[in-house]
Amino acid sequence: MVMRLQALLQHPDALPVVPEVAAPVTFEEALRRLDPPAILPYEGERQITLAKALDALGRPEALTILIGPEGGFTRPEVERAVSRGAQPVSLGPRILRSETAGIVAATLALARLGAFDPPSHSQGS
């Protein structure tokens, strides 16, 4: 699936901002590689939505999205990720499968950060 997403993102009609889709790694490796800002979709988060977290970040040059396994992250894993700079966020009331959570989170983030906005044209007189 990762290779398919990477191929789709390289298509000429793809987004002007091309997200990098990394291959799955262990949680320990993800924490070693973690470079904030980072968000962690977590079904236990009830207050901070993805939109609120992104609004607080402004327009970061890069953003890491940590996607957990089926069954989600454990509370101790979330706490460890938070200690490394990750922000737990809610993707809404539904529990998503891990293979769709990454796509949903990336799409919502790209939309919130303006990747789907039409190009601005200067007004000439």
Q: Tell me the per-residue pLDDT of 57-86, one tens digit each, with 9 for 90 and over.
A: 888 888 999 999 988 999 999 999 999 999
Two structure tokens written together for 124: 């000439």
Two structure tokens written together for 70: 């089926």
Rounded to 5°, angle at Cα 100 from 96 and 104: 90
- Residue 11: the pLDDT is 52
Two structure tokens written together for 72: 């989600």
Cis peptide before 12 (omega within 30 of 0): no
- Residue 125: the pLDDT is 45
Q: Tell me the per-residue pLDDT of 9-50, one tens digit each, with 9 for 90 and over.
A: 555 455 556 677 888 899 999 999 998 999 999 999 999 999
- Residue 123: the pLDDT is 52
118: pLDDT strictly greater than 90 = no
49 phi/psi in degrees, rounded to 5: -85, 165
Two structure tokens written together for 117: 């906005």
* Domains of the chain, each with CATH number or no CATH: 22-112 (3.40.1280.10)
Which 3 state secondary structure label does DSSP give 40?
Answer: strand
Full-prediction pTM beyond 0.85?
Answer: no
